[in-house]
Amino acid sequence: MTRQAQAADSAEGEWASLRARYRLVRAQSERLCQPLLVEDYGVQSMADVSPPKWHLAHVSWFFEAFLLRPYLAGYRVLDERYDHLFNSYYQTHGTPFPRAQRGLLSRPSVAEVYRYRAHVDQAMDRLLAQSPAEQAAEIARRVELGLQHEQQHQELLLMDIKHILAQNPLLPAYRSDLRAAVVRSAEPLRWHRYPGGIGHIGHGDAGFAFDCERPRHRVFVEDFQLASRPVSNAEYAAFIADGGYRRSDWWLADGWDLLQRAGWQAPLYWRQADGAWQEMTLGGLRELDPQAPVCHLSYYEAEAFAAWAEARLPSEAEWELAAQSEPMTGNFLEQDWLQPMAAAAQKSGPAQLFGDVWEWTGSAFRPYPGFRALEGSLGEYNGKFMCGQMVLRGGCCATPQAHIRGSYRNFFYPAMRWQFSGLRLARGA
């Protein structure tokens, strides 16, 4: 076989793998929605939450807007109005429908949204069935971005479904068949030491990464220590019992003002019954597992706890440098707990750096030195959000495992806490 034939076979193999991945990722989104009642699909419980049917439509719009319209000859849209309804924030593409009003979209119906998904999937099958052409590299790059984007929305779906159901006085479970938590004894918190100096962070490999993870670059850190596991529910309950939500001296000013206005007294989804803590989960209301990582904290709550514990949050550089030698295994979407689990005994290295809960860092979401956004409308994906948000690392129990990397930078505003967010303590040497 000639080198040219070998290259053609290799390209066709990569194309076939991409087609298979497309089908798997798209099917996963629909599986996540199978437990819902049709009445659940259209609820928007707060401005930051999107109705489940909007998620299903939006990820389909992404493939339509950035692949089918520009690259599939003869493609015909199902409904031209969908380009407005399901555009999230791409101002250079068109006029996005207001985020806070997505719950008003009683039409299109759930059935019509699924019909839209099928329409897009059939067209994508035609696009991906074509032999690789001169535009194949750009098409493959955009398909990969679209799949990673849909995996982000799979986590967002579970975040939003949990928030939607938690507002219902009946406290319905998303699923009654979720795996039971593994009961473990308390794992004592230990400290792992890391030497200071110059290191490298950011994505530098040829594989996929979002633009905000690049370029790989040098950082300097002082000697530091990182806790052996995330902060547990029991430790956070001790903070509450010690006046954590009543004393301003541990809080940033903005966080204290927000606490006063919102009336926070505990993490989101916690409630007390007969003197015991319970929490709302995707499996319904459950007794709080004291050894599991505390979850659904805002950045302000994480900062306040760290101050109370006489420690701090790690910088994202410290976190990534520590994570570079650790395996990317943990409690992810595929484990099907959909809830943080207590840490198992760890022989070496920090436990649960990946999975269970996203870990707040003390770093603002800002561009890396030499950052370049993607060209065109896709440049709006991350770059325009690099102000006022804080970085979280490591993934969570609702993150698809294939979606996470050591360089992955998640980001949320400091007041947000409906994401699966916790914290790990750090301190100087």
Please give the Cα distance from 120 to 142 (Å, whole number).
15
160 and 219 assigned to the same domain: no
Cis, bond preceding 327 (omega within 30 deg of 0): no
209 pLDDT tier (thresholds 50, 70, 90): very high
* Residues in a beta bridge with 287: 278
Count: domains in the chain: 2
The overall average pLDDT reported for the chain is 94
The residue whose two tokens read 């499996």 is 283
Please give the Cα distance from 234 to 287 (Å, whole number).
12
- Domain CATH number, residue 70: 1.20.120
| 3-class DSSP string for 300-322 | HHHHHHHHHCCCECCCHHHHHHH
CB 191, CB 227: distance < 8 Å: yes
Q: Could you say which of 150, 166, 182 is where a domain stops?
A: 166
Nearest to 67 by CA among 20, 154, 135: 135
399 and 322 assigned to the same domain: yes
Nearest to 319 by CA among 402, 201, 417, 411: 201
Is 180 a domain residue? Answer: no
Classify 375 as helix, strand or coil. Answer: coil
Please give the Cα distance from 144 to 209 (Å, whole number).
10
pLDDT over 90 at 381, yes or no: no
380 pLDDT tier (thresholds 50, 70, 90): confident
- The stretch 320-339 carries a mean pLDDT of 96
CB 117, CB 56: distance < 8 Å: yes
10 pLDDT tier (thresholds 50, 70, 90): low
For 90-147, how does the pLDDT look when each residue is reduced to its tens digit (9 = 90+)? 999 999 999 999 999 999 999 999 999 999 999 999 999 876 677 889 999 999 999 9
DSSP state of 47: T
Q: What is the pLDDT of residue 167?
A: 98
Is 19 a domain residue? Answer: yes
Chain centroid offset of residue 228 CA: 23
DSSP calls for 247-286 = -GGGS-HHHHHHHHHHT--SSTTEEEETTEEEEEETTEEE
298 and 354 assigned to the same domain: yes
For 384-403, how does the pLDDT look when each residue is reduced to its tens digit (9 = 90+)? 999 999 999 999 999 999 99
In order of 190, 192, 219, 406, the CA distances from 225 in angstroms are 10, 5, 17, 18
Q: Which domain holds residue 392?
A: 191-428
Is 415 a domain residue? Answer: yes
Share of the chain above pLDDT 70, in %: 97
Is 311 a domain residue? Answer: yes
Q: Which residues contact 175 (CB under 8 A, 6 or more apart)?
A: 35, 282, 283, 338
The residue whose two tokens read 């076939």 is 16
Please give the Cα distance from 11 to 7 (Å, whole number).
6
423 pLDDT tier (thresholds 50, 70, 90): very high
74 and 160 assigned to the same domain: yes
Strands 358-364 and 421-422, bridge-based pairing: parallel
Q: Is the dihedral of CA 49, 52, 56, 61 positive or negative?
A: negative
126 and 203 assigned to the same domain: no
- Domain CATH number, residue 385: 3.90.1580.10
Classify 232 as helix, strand or coil. Answer: strand
160 and 201 assigned to the same domain: no
138, containing H or E segment: helix 136-166
- The stretch 184-195 carries a mean pLDDT of 92
DSSP state of 213: G
Q: What is the pLDDT of residue 8?
A: 57
DSSP state of 383: G
Is 117 a domain residue? Answer: yes
pLDDT over 60 at 5, yes or no: no
